């Protein structure tokens, strides 16, 4: 093995082992920042030793053993300090050390879950949650996170530093929240993971490859969470949603980098491994809960598309029903607009128009180009061509995407020409 081979091997070991390492160390020192430093020190020690000695049989255990010694030193020093202040007995110190030794090996899974909850703690700003999660649980470097988020490295570094400081100042306990707290905290975790996923999903063709890789990173985090809390339906709902959406990553971009809408995608290019995983995860979510939550419902909608071999085979009635359920769980004008599209596909444009008409007074949609675009489409299908033309033109004036604008203007023209080339 050459030196650079060893360094690359150490990188790989770090990526695999660092989350558990940091989690275990946080249990000892009760401070994520200190734990990460200790883990980094162990990594440096590996970089010094392994090129000579070779990579040990069990590299994770080696790193942990190396870091643990220093961690216990730190704890011992802190206990001494505490004892000076509080005059604690010597037995307590040794007892604590023994506890640490026993606990650390038994609770790696729990520790990892605690680390997830701490990285996504509500006391942190959202961007710090994202950066800390990718750093502590994804094993990404600050530079990698910065490139993936198109942000300067110094900015990301600051988010991480600030996040760690906030956690330490707020004395956030290293624990899995219990009782009524659990659900809210879990949904904060899911939100962070989905945010990372969407950041990758919105990457365009010219972006650094690390951006689309965020999708896989988020999937990996979701799957880890699914193993740590196997009985939470929404966790599997989110996994299912991400797996199915990720299955379309290749098909949703055309040869010149343009976005290809779902209905026009070449379904042969959907990733079957991810589709299958998504459907299995959805089934799991369905079995666990009496009713699907917001992520589960969105996954179920995505699954309807994934199951259809051609767009004609899409079960629109089912999708309309799912949007109905989703709109009741989290009412939102955008979901309502999506529901209108599904209803129109299932029951005809008149039914869709009825829903869309109600949305016209919705203040948040006033400048949203898809509202007139969708309404124009329904009007066109109903033969109300003049109204359709006006809606397409309005939609064209609202979009900032030039390709989309041209498409909408083309539809406006075809409406004014009497519905020849009526589009899709």
| Positions that interact with another protein (CB under 8 A) | 8-9, 11-13, 15-16, 109, 209-210, 212-213, 216-217, 219-224, 227-228, 250, 273-274, 277
Token digits for 326?
A: 């989703």
274 versus 374: smaller Cβ distance to another protein: 274
Q: Which is nearer to another protein, 166 or 198 (CB)?
A: 198
Minimal distance, residue 253 CB to another protein, in Å = 11
Least Å from the CB of residue 8 to another protein: 4
Cβ proximity to another protein: between 93 and 216 the closer is 216
Closer Cβ to another protein, 270 or 392, answer by number: 270
Looking at the Cβ atoms of 45 and 228, the one nearer to another protein is 228
Other CB atoms within 10 Å distance of the CB of residue 99: 11
| d(C-alpha 10, C-alpha 14), whole Å | 6
- Hey, is 202 helix, strand or coil? coil
Q: Tell me which residue of 79, 105, 134, 130 sits closest to 21, measured CA to CA.
A: 105
CB of 373 to another protein, least distance (A): 31
Rounded distance, CA 373 to CA 389, Å?
Answer: 10
126: part of which helix (H) or strand (E)?
helix 126-132
Cβ 279 to another protein shortest distance, Å: 13
All residues at 6 or more sequence positions from 326 whose CB lies less than 8 Å from its CB, including other chains = 294, 297, 298, 301, 335, 339
| Least separation in angstroms between CB 37 and another protein | 23
Q: Judged by CB, which is closer to another protein: 235, or 319?
A: 235
Cβ nearer to another protein, comparing 285 with 343: 285
CA distance 418 to 414: 7
Residue closer to another protein by CB (options 243, 336) is: 243
Q: Which two tokens stand for residue 261?
A: 């809408």
Give residues with Cβ within 8 angstroms of 350, minimum separation 6.
Answer: 378, 382
Q: How far is the CB of 59 from another protein (least distance, A)?
A: 8
Residues 6+ apart with CB under 8 A from 184: 122
Q: Rounded to whole angstroms, how far apart are CA atoms 355 and 19?
A: 48
Shortest Cβ distance from residue 213 to another protein (Å)? 5
CA gyration radius, the chain: 26
Q: How far is the CB of 293 from another protein (least distance, A)?
A: 21
Contact 286, 303 (CB under 8 A): no
Tokens for 298, please give them: 């969105």
At 388, is the secondary structure helix, strand, or coil?
helix
């Amino acid at each position: 093995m050459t030196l650079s081979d060893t360094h690359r091997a150490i990188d790989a070991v770090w990526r695999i082992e660092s989350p558990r390492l940091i989690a275990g160390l946080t249990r000892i020192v009760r401070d994520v920042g200190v734990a990460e430093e200790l883990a980094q020190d162990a990594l440096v020690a590996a970089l010094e030793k392994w090129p000579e000695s070779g990579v040990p049989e069990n590299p994770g255990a080696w790193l942990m053993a190396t870091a643990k010694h220093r961690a216990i030193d730190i704890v011992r020093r802190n206990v001494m300090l505490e004892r000076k202040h509080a005059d604690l007995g010597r037995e307590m110190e040794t007892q604590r050390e023994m506890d640490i030794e026993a606990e650390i090996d038994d609770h790696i899974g729990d520790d990892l879950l605690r680390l997830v909850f701490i990285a996504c703690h509500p006391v942190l700003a959202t961007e710090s949650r994202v950066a800390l999660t990718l750093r502590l649980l994804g094993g990404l470097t600050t530079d990698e996170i910065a490139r993936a988020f198109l942000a300067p490295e110094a900015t990301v570094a600051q988010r991480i530093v600030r996040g760690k400081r906030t956690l330490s100042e707020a004395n956030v306990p290293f624990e899995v929240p219990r009782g009524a707290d659990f659900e809210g905290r879990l949904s904060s975790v899911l939100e962070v993971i989905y945010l990372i996923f969407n950041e990758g999903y919105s990457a365009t063709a010219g972006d650094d490859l690390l951006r689309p890789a965020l999708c896989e990173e988020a999937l990996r985090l979701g799957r880890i969470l699914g193993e740590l809390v196997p009985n939470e339906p929404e966790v599997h709902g989110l996994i299912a949603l991400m797996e199915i959406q990720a299955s379309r990553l290749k098909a949703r971009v055309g040869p010149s980098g343009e976005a290809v809408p779902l209905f026009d995608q070449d379904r042969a290019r959907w990733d079957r491994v991810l589709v299958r995983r998504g459907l299995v995860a959805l089934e799991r979510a369905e079995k666990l809960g009496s009713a699907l939550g917001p992520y589960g419902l969105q996954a179920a909608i995505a699954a309807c598309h994934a199951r259809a071999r051609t767009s004609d085979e899409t079960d629109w009635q089912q999708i309309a029903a799912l949007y109905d359920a989703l709109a009741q769980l989290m009412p939102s004008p955008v979901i309502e607009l999506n529901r209108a599209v599904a209803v129109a596909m299932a029951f005809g444009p008149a039914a869709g128009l009825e829903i869309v008409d109600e949305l016209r007074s919705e203040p948040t949609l006033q400048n949203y180009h898809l509202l007139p675009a969708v309404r124009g489409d329904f009007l066109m299908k109903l033969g109300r061509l003049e109204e359709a033309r006006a809606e397409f033109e309005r939609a064209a004036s609202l979009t900032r995407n030039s390709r989309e604008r041209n498409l909408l203007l083309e539809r406006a023209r075809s409406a004014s020409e009497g519905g020849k080339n009526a589009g899709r």
